[in-house]
């Protein structure tokens, strides 16, 4: 409020003063005004929120109160240099700086400084914008961009793998035909010779290589889901064969306890292979540097569902990781995208099943349990709240 000198009675503030006060109080950005000795004259509400000080606490204090020690040490020198030389290093330019909260926490700010000549002397107006949320978004975008680059590379590798599988299959087919022709010729000339057995083994190995290439090609090629009745024991056997083909498993005890004769399940075999291969590879990675190196697979029917259990003797899953384990980009592995478990669970749920984890599934390791319904799966999968614990060989 202003005071009328002639009457000695208070008069209301002018419209311009009221407008200025309204702007200062409602501004989203912090506004601080200081004199030419760096003392705070004005400190708006947004500044109080930013720094944790009230306007009364900071009024008359050196603005260094709001700065980290390295900034504060040099600040008075910057002000004096400008007053002496007129050289602008920040005024009218704007820059990113760090502020210091009352509790000592430092945080990023965008600072713009202006200058005003007043009857009370030269004053400086600082406009401060909190950059913490922007920095979080920028970091997240940088992470996502890096992950997208990795996914692009993976997609390219998938296409390359399909092309290689296609090209390798042709010479393998030719090798088998030549070996079969040689076998017939050898059989005619040496019906009881050892050479027949050797050529026969060569034919079988070429056929085996061709089958592996075909499975790899089906695994990496893009195609629509195709569900059919699948023998789970055969599917698990093929998965382990594919995993061990491209992974160093030396010194690791891999136990396959999936029995023959289990009821078939109606699934897309390639998609379920994708889940199992991802889980087995994770298990192998978990035990690679542990004293006991065991990975186990078992399967059992409970009610209307098939439960496939993958266990390991690794360190288990940390409790703080479990809530976000199946969330996208939550990988704890160096270089991992954090998408494997997310995609695996989505595939399971699209089949009417689910994928769950037991953080301590046996011998200190983890157990992942894949639930798939028997018979024809529901059109829309739903997540199961609980997954029964299956008793089987633990690793």
Q: Residue 353 is encoded by which pair of tokens?
A: 């099943």
Under DSSP, is residue 369 helix (H, G, I), strand (E, B) or coil?
strand
The vertex-73 CA angle with 69 and 76, nearest 5°, equals 135
Q: Residue 87 is encoded by which pair of tokens?
A: 């050289």
Give yes or no for a contact between 162 and 135, defined as CB atoms under 8 angstroms apart: no
Phi, psi of 355 (to 5 degrees): -130, 125
- What separation in angstroms does the CA of 83 have from each of 3, 33, 62, 92, 339? 34, 16, 17, 15, 57
β-bridge mates for residue 62, sequence order:
39
Residue 201 gets the label, from left (phi > 0), alpha (psi -120 to 50) or beta, of alpha
- Please state, as a whole number, how many other Cβ atoms lie within 10 Å of the Cβ of residue 162: 17
β-bridge mates for residue 116, sequence order:
123
Q: Residue 95 is encoded by which pair of tokens?
A: 């820059």
How far is 112 from 249, CA to CA, in rounded Å? Answer: 60
**Which pTM was predicted?**
0.45
Report the largest interatomic distance among the alpha carbons of the chain, rounded to a whole angstrom: 134
The set of residues, in sequence order, having a beta carbon less than 8 Å from that of 290 and lying 6+ positions away, is 313, 314, 315
How far is 324 from 310, CA to CA, in rounded Å? Answer: 20
Report, in angstroms and rounded to the nearest whole number, the Rg of the chain calculated over CA atoms. 35
pLDDT digit string (tens) for the chain, length 395 residues: 444 444 444 545 566 667 777 777 888 899 999 888 889 999 999 999 999 999 999 999 988 889 888 776 666 666 676 766 766 666 767 788 899 999 999 999 988 888 888 888 888 888 999 999 888 888 887 776 666 655 555 555 566 666 666 667 777 777 877 787 877 777 777 666 677 777 777 777 777 777 766 666 665 555 556 788 989 999 998 888 878 766 677 888 888 999 888 999 988 888 888 889 889 988 888 888 888 889 999 999 998 899 999 999 888 888 777 777 876 545 545 444 445 787 788 888 888 899 988 877 666 688 899 999 986 544 444 333 334 444 333 33
Q: Which of 289, 276, 218, 220 is nearest to 244 (CA)?
A: 276
Give yes or no for a contact between 277 and 292, defined as CB atoms under 8 angstroms apart: no
Residue 90 gets the label, from left (phi > 0), alpha (psi -120 to 50) or beta, of alpha
The vertex-367 CA angle with 365 and 371, nearest 5°, equals 180
């Amino acid at each position: 409020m202003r005071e009328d000198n002639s009457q000695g009675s208070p008069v209301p503030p002018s419209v311009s003063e009221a407008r200025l006060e309204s702007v200062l109080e409602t501004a989203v950005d912090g506004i601080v005004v200081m004199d030419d000795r760096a003392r705070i004259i004005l400190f708006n509400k947004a500044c109080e929120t930013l720094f944790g000080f009230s306007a009364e606490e900071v009024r008359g204090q050196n603005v260094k109160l709001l700065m980290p020690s390295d900034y504060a040490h040099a600040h008075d020198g910057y002000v004096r240099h400008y007053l002496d030389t007129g050289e602008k290093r920040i005024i009218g330019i704007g820059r990113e700086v760090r502020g210091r909260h009352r509790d000592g926490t430092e945080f990023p700010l965008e600072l713009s400084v202006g200058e005003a000549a007043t009857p009370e002397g030269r004053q400086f107006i600082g406009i401060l914008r909190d950059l913490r949320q922007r920095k979080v978004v920028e970091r997240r975008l940088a992470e996502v961009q890096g992950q997208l680059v990795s996914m692009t590379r993976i997609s390219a590798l998938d296409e390359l793998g399909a092309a290689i599988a296609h090209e390798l299959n042709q010479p393998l087919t030719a090798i088998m035909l030549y070996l079969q022709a040689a076998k017939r010729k050898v059989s005619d000339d040496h019906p009881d010779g050892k050479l027949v057995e050797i050529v026969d083994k060569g034919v079988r190995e070429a056929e085996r290589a061709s089958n592996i290439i075909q499975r790899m090609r089906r695994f990496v090629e893009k195609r629509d889901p195709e569900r059919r009745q699948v023998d789970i024991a055969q599917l698990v056997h093929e998965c382990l064969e594919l995993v061990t083909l491209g992974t160093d498993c030396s010194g690791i005890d891999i136990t396959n306890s999936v029995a023959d004769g289990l009821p078939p399940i109606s699934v897309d075999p390639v998609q379920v292979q994708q889940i199992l291969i991802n889980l087995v590879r994770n298990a192998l990675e978990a035990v690679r540097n542990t004293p006991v190196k065991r990975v186990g697979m078992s399967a059992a029917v409970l009610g209307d569902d098939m439960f496939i259990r993958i266990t390991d003797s690794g360190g288990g899953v940390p409790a703080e990781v479990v809530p976000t384990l199946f969330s996208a980009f939550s990988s704890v592995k160096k270089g991992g995208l954090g998408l494997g478990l997310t995609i695996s669970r989505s595939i399971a749920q699209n089949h009417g099943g689910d994928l769950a984890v037991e953080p301590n599934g046996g011998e200190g390791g983890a157990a992942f349990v894949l639930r798939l319904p028997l018979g024809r799966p529901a059109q829309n999968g739903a997540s199961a709240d609980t997954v029964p614990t299956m008793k089987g060989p633990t690793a």
